[in-house]
Amino acid sequence: MKVRILGSSVGDTSPRQYVSSYLVNETIAVDAGCLGLHGTPREQEGIRHVFLTHSHFDHTATLPIFVENAWTPTGESPRIYGSSETLDAVQRHIFNDVMWPDFVALSRKMHPFLHLCPLDTELPVAVDGLRITPIRVNHVVPTVGYVITDDRNAVIIAGDTGPTERLWEVAHQTAGLRAVFLEACFPNSMKRIAEISLHLTPEMFAREVGKMPPGIKVIVTHIKVRYHDDVVRELHALGPPQMEIGDCEKEYDLSKVVTDRSLTAVSEEPRVA
């Protein structure tokens, strides 16, 4: 399994993560903040499944552009997954004939532009050889993180969250867990904003790491670009073990991620219900 954080800056030699999209094995995306600006339309056509964590614009901004780019008149169209609340928000506020043509309604009259696929919390779906399970996290709108597993490895993409619990309970039950992608948005001096918006500071991030299985690689994402240097400096001062600052466009090969956790020590299947 391979995961790539998509960069969202233009004309920048060091791509930055202004908005959020992740690409898994080239055919599955998590979030669509910049997905519609990634690569060529033909490359986007190869992305068949998009899993949304929540409705906020930095996670859905280019979804309509992606759908337009990926559509072909052959009848093949991407499947967009999310909670019922997220998919309802996408239809009411994006595909509404005001902000963008109503691709959902148009899909009933012609070769579909997209398929909306509601997810049930903690019920996995199988796509392209992976099992993907949504777990509720703690944010200001209904939001999920995703536990993604193949036959040997697992990764968690936590999405946007403040301090949370259930995701880490599931992490302890997930066999082969090698890495967690977790946000650290604001510097410690902006703790109040983080608390109100249900995001994490470095100090809060370190407490969340303490809830995870020991020895797991934790890749930091969703750092507010304006405060990037401050957040990184504070994270390094705290020095959580196995922490890495996420690099846009770097491919993380889960089979090569080294952890301090014995993968054979966890023999049970992930409990997702």
Q: Which amino acid is at 144?
A: V
- Max intra-chain CA distance, the chain: 57
pLDDT of residue 111: 82
The pLDDT assigned to 141 comes to 97
pLDDT of residue 268: 35
What pLDDT sits at residue 239? 76
Q: What is the pLDDT of residues 165-183, one digit of tens each?
A: 999 999 999 999 999 999 9
Lowest mean pLDDT among 149-153, 240-244, 250-254: 240-244
Contact 231, 186 (CB under 8 A): yes
pLDDT(273) > 70: no
The pLDDT confidence band at residue 68, using thresholds 50, 70 and 90, is: very high
Q: How far is Cα of residue 129 from the mean position of the Cα atoms in its chain?
A: 18
d(CA 70, CA 100): 16
Helices (H), 46-98: 57-60, 63-70, 84-93
Mean pLDDT of all residues in the chain? Answer: 91
- State yes or no: pLDDT of 270 exceeds 50: no
Residue 266 has pLDDT above 50, yes or no: no
What's the pLDDT at 267?
Answer: 32
Q: What is the average per-residue pLDDT within 65-70?
A: 94
Across the range 147-163, mean pLDDT stands at 96
**The tokens of 248 are what?**
């846009």
Q: What is the mean pLDDT of residues 102-107?
A: 87
Contact (Cβ atoms closer than 8 angstroms) between residue 216 and residue 186: no
Query: How many residues would you count in the chain?
Result: 273
Q: Give 13's pLDDT tier (boundaries 50, 70, 90).
A: low
So what's the pLDDT on residue 61? 96
Mean pLDDT of 140-168: 96
- 94 CB-near residues (< 8 Å, 6+ apart): 60, 63, 64, 100
Residues 6+ apart with CB under 8 A from 242: 215, 216, 217, 218, 259, 260
Find, among 94, 88, 136, the residue nearest to 116 by Cα.
88
CA proximity to 14, closest of 26, 2, 5, 25: 5
- Between CA 209 and CA 215, with CA 211 as vertex, the angle to 5 degrees is 60
What is the C-alpha to C-alpha distance for residues 244 and 241, in angstroms, rounded to an integer?
9
Helix axes 202-209, 228-238, angle to 10 degrees: 40
- Phi and psi dihedrals of 179, rounded to 5? -155, 155
- With bands split at pLDDT 50, 70 and 90, how would you rate the model's confidence at 206? very high
Q: Which two tokens stand for residue 32?
A: 């669509």
Question: Which pair of tokens denotes residue 172?
Answer: 């302890």
Site of tokens 């599931």: 170
Q: Are strands 22-24 and 125-127 parallel, antiparallel or unpaired?
A: unpaired
**Band of the pLDDT at 260, cuts 50, 70, 90?**
low
